[in-house]
Structure 1
Amino acid sequence: MRAVVVRRFGGPEVLELVEVPDPEPGPGQVRIRVAAAAVNPVDAVTRAGVLAAAGLMGPRETVGIGWDVAGTVDRLGPGVSGFALGDEVIGLRDRLDVPLGTYADAVVLDAAALAPAPAGVSPVAAATLPLNGLTAAQALDLLDLPPGATLLVTGAAGAVGGFAVQLAARRGLRVVAVAGERDAAAVRELGAEWLVPREAADLAAEVRALVAGGVDGALDAALLGVAALGAVRNRGAFVAVSAGAAPVGLRGIRVAHVWVAADGAALTELSALAEHGELTLRVADTLPLEEAATAHHRLAADTLRGRLVLVP
């Protein structure tokens, strides 16, 4: 089968399409014939060697690329229950220390990392859900805000931010969204009560003009750091979505960053929301697997709305 791998770190040109043996599932694992794999910023930093330099992954001769997958179960390992051959599924590959990712014709994942694909949704759209949806949901869990609390979401027009706005609104939170003017209407449709322009010179002042004393919490999908922290009230909560992007917890603010983890049960809930149109899945474009480097070039341009998706 074909897979996209990295054997030296660098720009998009280091992505190689290689022939490898079909992977075999072990105990508790499932092999998925890949129908679609979303392209995410974490794929780019993996390719560039940023994660290796940070000590988040050990040295390897071959590094697999890709976290998100939508596809069909075509082999079951020993001890797997709950899935059958031919099932359409979505899943998250959250381990960095493996030689193959989801940019491939097939991938093996733990059954516990999988969920039924949302019925009536194309595999291309479904592949955009696992990583970004789980990141948003797990960040909201870390914030642990009660219904009626106020939440700042930066990068609200992005993949994580968009899911965060919708999920927060479902939890009864009042959302202040940070987004550009061209995305204002879309972000309000997702459930934001207030909108602050991304270009605001003083984010904290803009937010505090809307919510006296500051918001109860912030989900920093745009990695604004201290600029977003200033919008949070004393002894509030703050979660960044990338390691190293969380500021110091001044004024008694509880600060954390979310380390996303595969979670089949939580992903099943997100899949059901997407199936019923309660989560918005956004696809920027599709490309064949052999154009992974092109996808990474386009990802770096940062003008996309929705995810690029590779289709084997």
Structure 2
Amino acid sequence: MLSTVAALALPQVAPFELGVVCEVFGIDRTAEGVPSMELRICGPRAGEPLTTSVGMQLVPEHGLDGLACADLVALPATRSREFEPAVLDAVRAAADGGATILTVCSGVFVAGAAGLLDGRRCTTHWINVAELRERHPRAVVDPDVLFVDDGSLITSAGTAAGIDAALHLVRRELGPAAANAIARRMVVPPQRDGGQRQFVEQPVPECSTESLAPVLDWLQDNLEVEHSVSDLARRAAMSERTFARHFAAATGTTPHKWLTLRRVQLAQRLLESTDLGMDAVAARAGFGGAALLRHHFRRVVGVSPGDYRRTFACTAG
């Protein structure tokens, strides 16, 4: 159940991510059939102002004792990475007492510092993945998903993914009717699959030597054309074997993989900014046809080109 929810605000807390927790768990929606939930806004000390990540101040009504006996402890994003021992003790005690822990974005670092990530699958915003792995090498970090439900630990990526994770938890604990009622009031989709990838441009390996730079620049300007290794080797004035070796040493990948990622990135931009049909997008991006575009796009981005366009297309007004 989710009778009592404690949101732990720490120095440099992100107000929007804290607001996500408040919106989902802190508004009385009993008239719409949602069970009543008590939301406690907690801080290291009750009544002591906290500076948020955007410069405003927040005064929590409850101290760390507000985490005791909570069904859910929510850890919203914070810029801080150093936490008071008493804070970590309180989070650990809540988890040991049976509370579910929900993290939003960088709030996962609080759970990690409390020792709650060891051996467990988790996620965070893509920009924080490398740091999370470095700080908590025993955590099983999945960088692609929107959120991870690991039973008593639910971790989520960026702000919108925090909404998804919170609604997923409501659905899990209170049923789909409650989750749908909350989503309707928030004007958000009632359910997005947690396994859907975070929408981030995949980094394409850059050239580390000047010898291949002219060839890569030319490729970038001619993605719609078919390219063979032999053609590229001739353009670089190398044998095929030498070209392949230099390409791998310079970029860390193969010509085929490099081209595919560049073409997917171009397709993303076309889907976002134009109304071209799928065949036209495929042709402009060098995939030839829509079927091949869908195959590579889904493999790299995690969703179909059509779903991507519906989410990210720029619309007038």
Do the two structures share a fold, i.e. TM-score over 0.5? no
- If each structure's helix is expressed as a fraction of its own residues, which one has the higher value? 2
- If each structure's strand is expressed as a fraction of its own residues, which one has the higher value? 1
Q: Which has the higher contact order (CA 8 A, sep 6+)?
A: 1
What TM-score, normalized to structure 2?
0.27
Q: Pick the structure with greater CA Rg.
A: 2
